[in-house]
Structure formats: structure tokens, C-alpha cells
């Protein structure tokens, strides 16, 4: 009797516990069950997902590509850069270059407005340029405007001038190619409002209350944020090219492994592309989902293995380059979602020089190693950063490739900060790194400058850098092609980096949203969300 009473008490207790266990779920369970997946989104909200949080709303104070997603939504830029190397008007309708290529004149739209209704003028561009380059501000991104006259000479010294309300001219230190400037220097130049920030002393600019709720001239107007989880926007009511019908735009941080789940159950509508794409293991399943549109977009982002030129001779580096079976990585590891990389310029780029290709030739590699008297007992250090599973697996394949020709290696993995520190210090033989790349062939040139901190391969010779740098200071396609052809030939000859692959962006969005087309352009830090529409 007593035992049965105890059992009854226990049962009641368990019942109470079960109720409390699912208390949260039960109250919400009904609407969630009653509503099929897409209904989780309200009719006029678009949710975009990226895989890591932003760090700042201050455009000149970050170098994070996650922050760039946010900044591109809030602030306008001069041009919409495309992955094929062309560009479309955005805040600037056109750019003129004077005869000797020393002055760039941007013509701005006359109907562009800040989200508070004030017009965007040439003075805003001048103000922004001075803010980026002010020694008092000492911004992280100040070097973006380093090619312009007056740079580093004091606050307001940069030679940028408002010709009239909608025309602004930048004067260069020396003749420079406009494509080079647009893709390398203006890519993350976000225009800021002088009327809201102009009165803040430069020394206090970072702590201005403006950054808590910025008013930009981009397509989205900031509403609220949950730090590290989401930012909510409404449309900028004055955005000049708004074609979308959304009323709310939510940018969310979602781990890579949850992206497909989020798309399938309607929590998110679209991925951010280069900073939010599906993992390979989810790709087949994603393509089988009826409510998803999947596209594998070619990317200009590439992975490479920096080789310490102070440890290995050019001949040995060439042997390493020959020993790498890139096709095996593409077919086996990337499941065909990528192309082999022999240099920083993608094979479909108009500046690509096929002479850079080093076919897989293990016999050739062995012959060189024998000729060079390679010691098969020597073990080389392969430094691999964590955080990119495909790259970590590629390192294992390359380790095997090198072992096949008689080069022993030891893989050392570390988190990215540790790895970068080692590679910059030259404490390695092979260092794995990735780059977001660029349609412009000049993107990687700086890494071959022996004086630059990203001289990962510890070069002491300026030849590759100077050859590549020429391409930024000549003006016809033919002249640039000649410069970059030679640059690519030199990369093959000296092999400071052994390039591995360009990996496709595995993109998906729900059928609920239309107008998402040029995913490959996302690597250029622009997303045309103003064209995205919700289909009811």
C-alpha cells in the first residue's frame, strides 16, 4: 500500500517534470506544428545567413569580411563590382580618368539620399575619404587610399575635392589603372554622412553615438541587433534603386552545419555566399529539396600553400609544384565543385596565362629532386590552420603526393592566429592560406613584396612584385595583359606559392525569394538585396 502510494507520488512528480520539460515547447509547439516550414517567416521578411558574427559598424575600423556583409547593406559604395571584372553604377554613375591617369572623377547620382532623407553629396565622399586617412583616426583601412596624393600628410590632406554637389575628384600620386583602384582600393570604401558625423571631433569618432544605430545610404536601415546573433533592418525609404518588396531584412549568424537545416525548415531564406555557403556534405541533400534553389557559383577565392623560399631552393619548390595532384583534390575532395589553381588568377579570367599551369608530373618531380641531391630523410613542416575542413583534408592529400616523390612532411595544425603568426615569422616550410581573390589580377601582387607583412614566402627578391606591380600602372588591356602574363610566368618559375584550387560557392536560397542571381559577385562585397523579392 505504502509502496503504491510512493509510486503514485513518483508518477505525479514525473508528470509534472515532463510538463515542465516541454513547457517551453508545448506553448509554441502548436503554432510551429500548425504552420508548415516557410510560414515561420512572415510574409515580408527576408532572412540572410552568414556563419560568423560581424565585429563593427565602423567601416574604416574592420577588415572582417563578415562585417563587410553588414556594411554593404547599411552604406552605399561607389560601384557594384562584378566577379567578371566589370562594374555597374551604384552611388557613382560613372568615373572619368584624365589623360595622364592621375585624376579620377566620380559622377554621383543626384537622387541618392541618406535614410533620414538628406541628399548624398560629393562632400560626403570627401568627408569619408578624409576620415579613412586621418592620422588622428589612424584607421585600420587607411591604406586603402594610400595611392592618392596627400596621403599621410595630415588630417584633411588627402587630395580629394568636391567639384560640385554631385562630382568628386581624387588626385593620384602617380598614374594608376582605374580597374586596379576600383577592385583593390575602393572595394570596401563605404560612404559616410558628413551631416551626422562631421561635428564629432576626429579623436572621438569611434565613440560617436552614431555607430550605435547608423543611418546610411545603402538599401537597409538598421533597426536593432542582438550582439553576435542577428541584425534587423527595414528598407531605406529613400534608396534610389529599391525594387524588392520586403519590409524587414534580418541578417543572422548561423553555424555552417545548421545552414541547410535552417533553409529546410524556413528559418532562413538565403545564404550570404562567400561567408555563408553550404558544406560539401550537405550539397547533395540540398539539391534534392523541392523548396530550395541551389547553385554552385565559381569563385575567385583560392587556396594556396606558401613555400618558405629561405628554406627551399627554386628547383625544389618547382618539384613540389609538379608533385601536387590538384585534380585528385578537385575530384575526390571537392566532388568536382572547383577548379585547379596554378596561380591567383582564375582560369576564366581574361588575364589568365595558361603558361602558369604546372601539370601533375611526379616523375619530373623525382628527377629534379635527384638532380638537386634531395635528402629523403629531411622532414619539412607543413603548417595548416584549423577552421576549413576541406583545406585540412587537402593538406593530407598533398602530404601524400609529396611522400610519393620522396619529400617527407609533418603536418602541424593550429588555430588561425597561431598559424598566421608562424607563417609571417617564416617558422614553417609549407603554410596553407586562403584568399578571397579578386577579378583583378593585381590582388595577390602585394604578397610578393619582400617589405610587406604578408610576404608569407619570405621572398627577398623584388622581381615578382615589381613585375606584377607594373600591371597596376599601365592602362591598356594589352599592356596589362603583358605585365600579368610575365608575372604569372615568374610565379611558375619561382613558385613562392603552390596554388591548389578555386572552390565553388555552394549556394542555396528558398523558392520564396526571387531575384538572387549573381552569387559569384558576393566575393566583391556586394549583394543586390534591393532586387530581391518575396514570392507569395
Query: According to CB under 8 A, which residues from 415 to 474 bind another protein?
Result: 415-422, 424, 443, 446-447, 451-454
Strand-pairing partners, residue 502, are 302, 339
3-state secondary structure of 57: coil
Q: How far is the CB of 209 from another protein (least distance, A)?
A: 13
State the burial class of residue 493 (Cβ atoms within 10 Å of its Cβ: 0-12, 13-18, 19+): middle
CB 230 within 8 A of CB 162: no
**Among positions 88, 163, 203, 226, the unique one binding another protein when judged by CB under 8 A:** 226
Residue ranges in 358-417 that form contacts with another protein under rule CB under 8 A: 414-417
Residue 15 engages another protein in binding (rule: CB under 8 A): no
Residue 206 engages another protein in binding (rule: CB under 8 A): yes
CA distance 388 to 130: 37
Query: Residue 254 — φ and ψ, nearest 5°?
Result: -135, 130
3-state secondary structure of 531: helix
Residue ranges in 135-164 that form contacts with another protein under rule CB under 8 A: 138, 140-144, 146
In angstroms, the first-to-last Cα distance of the chain is 63
Q: What is the dihedral of CA 197, 200, 202, 207, to 10 degrees?
A: -90
Max alpha carbon distance in the chain (Å)? 103
**Among positions 110, 174, 229, 247, the unique one binding another protein when judged by CB under 8 A:** 229
Nearer CB in complex with another protein: 374/484: 484
Q: How far is the CB of 336 from another protein (least distance, A)?
A: 26
Nearer CB in complex with another protein: 140/202: 140
State the burial class of residue 411 (Cβ atoms within 10 Å of its Cβ: 0-12, 13-18, 19+): middle
Nearer CB in complex with another protein: 114/484: 484
Query: What secondary structure does DSSP assign to 412-475, as a single string?
Result: EEE-HHHHHHHHHHT--SEEEEEE---SSTTTTGGGG-TTSTT-TT-----HHHHHHHHGGG--
Q: How far is the CB of 17 from another protein (least distance, A)?
A: 5
Residue ranges in 62-81 that form contacts with another protein under rule CB under 8 A: 63-64
Q: How far is the CB of 369 from another protein (least distance, A)?
A: 32
**Among positions 227, 288, 460, 476, the unique one binding another protein when judged by CB under 8 A:** 227
Nearer CB in complex with another protein: 32/403: 32
Total residues binding another protein (CB under 8 A):
81
Nearer CB in complex with another protein: 29/173: 29
Nearer CB in complex with another protein: 41/308: 41
Q: What secondary structure, in 3-state letters, does 348-359 show?
A: CCCCCCHHHCCC
H or E stretch at 13: helix 2-21
**Among positions 248, 311, 481, 489, the unique one binding another protein when judged by CB under 8 A:** 248
Strand-pairing partners, residue 440, are none
Q: How far is the CB of 523 from another protein (least distance, A)?
A: 15
Nearer CB in complex with another protein: 76/188: 188
Nearer CB in complex with another protein: 56/241: 56
Strand-pairing partners, residue 47, are 250
Site mask for another protein (CB under 8 A), range 23-62, x = bound: xxx-xxx--xx---x--xxx--x-x----xx-xx-x--x-
**Among positions 9, 370, 403, 535, the unique one binding another protein when judged by CB under 8 A:** 9
Site mask for another protein (CB under 8 A), range 322-351, x = bound: ------------------------------
Region binding another protein by CB under 8 A among candidate stretches 100-108, 223-231, 270-278, 481-489 = 223-231
| Residue linked to cell 540572410 | 48
Residue ranges in 101-140 that form contacts with another protein under rule CB under 8 A: 138, 140
Q: How far is the CB of 318 from another protein (least distance, A)?
A: 25
Nearest of 430, 424, 214, 484 to residue 307 by alpha carbon: 430
Nearest of 127, 429, 138, 213 to residue 305 by alpha carbon: 429
Nearer CB in complex with another protein: 121/128: 128
CA distance 518 to 520: 5
Nearer CB in complex with another protein: 9/370: 9
Residue 284 engages another protein in binding (rule: CB under 8 A): no
Q: How far is the CB of 245 from another protein (least distance, A)?
A: 16
Site mask for another protein (CB under 8 A), range 254-283, x = bound: xx-xx--xx-xx-xx---------------
Q: How far is the CB of 294 from another protein (least distance, A)?
A: 17
Nearer CB in complex with another protein: 267/357: 267
Nearest of 165, 180, 155 to residue 104 by alpha carbon: 180
Q: Please list, residue by residue across 100-132, b when 16 or more beta carbons sit within 10 angstroms of its beta carbon and e when fewer do.
A: ebebbbbbbbeebbbbeebbbbbbbbbbbbbbb
Region binding another protein by CB under 8 A among candidate stretches 12-20, 110-118, 360-368, 376-384 = 12-20
Q: How far is the CB of 264 from another protein (least distance, A)?
A: 6
Nearer CB in complex with another protein: 116/232: 232
Q: How far is the CB of 527 from another protein (least distance, A)?
A: 17
Nearer CB in complex with another protein: 250/296: 250
CB 137 within 8 A of CB 131: yes
Q: How far is the CB of 197 from another protein (least distance, A)?
A: 15
For 260, the grid coordinates are 541547410
Q: Please list, residue by residue across 303-330, b when 16 or more beta carbons sit within 10 angstroms of its beta carbon and e when fewer do.
A: bbbbbbbebbeeebbbbbbbbbbbebbb
Amino acid at each position: 500500500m505504502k509502496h503504491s502510494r510512493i509510486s503514485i507520488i513518483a508518477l505525479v512528480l514525473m508528470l509534472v517534470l515532463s510538463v515542465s520539460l516541454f513547457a517551453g515547447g508545448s506553448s509554441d509547439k502548436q503554432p510551429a506544428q500548425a504552420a508548415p516550414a516557410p510560414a515561420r517567416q512572415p510574409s515580408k521578411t527576408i532572412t540572410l545567413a552568414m556563419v560568423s558574427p560581424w565585429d563593427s559598424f565602423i567601416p574604416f575600423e574592420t577588415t572582417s569580411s563578415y562585417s563587410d556583409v553588414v556594411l554593404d547593406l547599411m552604406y552605399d559604395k561607389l560601384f557594384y563590382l562584378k566577379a567578371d571584372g566589370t562594374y555597374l553604377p551604384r552611388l557613382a554613375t560613372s568615373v572619368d580618368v584624365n589623360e595622364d591617369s592621375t585624376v579620377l572623377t566620380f559622377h554621383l547620382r543626384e537622387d541618392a539620399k541618406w535614410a533620414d532623407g538628406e541628399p548624398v553629396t560629393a562632400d560626403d565622399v570627401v568627408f569619408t575619404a578624409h576620415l579613412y586617412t586621418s592620422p588622428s583616426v589612424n584607421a585600420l583601412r587607411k591604406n586603402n587610399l594610400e595611392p592618392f596624393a596627400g596621403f599621410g600628410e595630415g588630417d584633411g590632406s588627402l587630395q580629394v575635392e568636391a567639384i560640385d554637389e554631385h562630382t568628386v575628384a581624387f588626385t593620384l600620386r602617380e598614374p594608376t589603372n582605374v580597374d586596379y583602384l576600383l577592385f583593390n582600393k575602393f572595394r570596401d570604401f563605404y560612404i559616410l554622412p558628413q551631416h551626422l558625423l562631421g561635428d564629432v571631433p576626429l579623436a572621438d569618432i569611434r565613440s560617436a553615438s552614431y555607430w550605435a544605430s547608423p543611418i546610411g545610404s545603402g538599401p537597409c536601415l538598421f533597426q536593432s541587433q542582438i550582439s553576435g546573433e542577428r541584425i534587423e533592418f527595414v528598407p531605406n525609404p529613400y534608396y534610389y534603386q529599391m525594387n524588392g518588396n520586403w519590409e524587414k531584412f534580418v541578417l543572422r549568424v548561423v553555424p555552417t552545419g545548421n545552414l541547410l537545416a535552417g533553409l529546410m525548415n524556413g528559418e532562413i531564406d538565403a545564404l550570404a555566399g562567400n561567408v555563408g555557403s553550404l558544406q560539401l556534405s550537405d550539397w547533395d541533400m540540398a539539391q534534392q529539396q523541392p523548396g530550395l534553389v541551389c547553385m554552385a557559383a565559381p569563385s575567385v577565392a583560392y587556396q594556396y600553400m606558401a613555400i618558405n623560399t629561405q628554406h627551399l631552393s627554386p628547383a625544389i619548390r618547382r618539384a613540389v609544384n609538379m608533385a601536387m595532384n590538384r585534380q585528385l583534390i578537385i575530384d575526390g575532395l571537392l566532388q568536382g565543385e572547383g577548379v585547379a589553381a596554378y596561380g591567383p588568377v582564375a582560369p576564366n579570367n581574361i588575364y589568365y596565362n595558361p603558361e602558369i599551369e604546372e601539370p601533375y608530373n611526379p616523375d619530373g618531380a623525382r628527377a629534379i629532386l635527384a638532380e638537386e641531391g634531395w635528402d629523403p630523410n629531411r622532414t619539412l613542416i607543413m603548417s595548416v590552420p584549423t577552421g576549413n575542413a576541406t583545406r585540412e583534408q587537402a593538406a593530407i592529400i598533398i602530404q601524400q603526393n609529396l611522400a610519393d616523390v620522396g619529400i617527407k612532411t609533418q603536418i602541424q595544425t593550429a588555430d588561425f592566429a597561431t598559424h598566421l603568426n608562424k607563417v609571417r615569422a617564416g617558422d614553417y616550410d609549407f603554410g596553407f592560406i586562403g584568399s578571397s581573390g579578386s577579378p583583378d589580377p593585381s590582388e595577390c601582387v602585394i604578397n610578393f613584396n619582400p617589405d610587406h607583412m604578408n610576404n608569407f614566402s619570405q621572398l627577398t627578391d623584388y622581381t615578382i612584385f615589381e613585375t606584377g606591380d607594373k600591371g597596376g600602372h599601365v592602362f591598356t588591356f594589352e599592356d596589362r595583359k603583358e605585365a600579368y602574363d610575365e608575372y604569372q610566368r615568374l610565379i611558375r618559375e619561382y613558385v613562392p606559392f603552390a596554388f591548389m584550387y578555386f572552390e565553388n560557392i555552394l549556394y542555396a536560397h528558398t523558392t520564396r525569394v526571387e531575384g538572387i542571381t549573381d552569387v559569384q559577385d558576393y566575393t566583391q562585397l556586394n549583394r543586390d538585396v534591393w532586387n530581391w523579392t518575396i514570392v507569395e
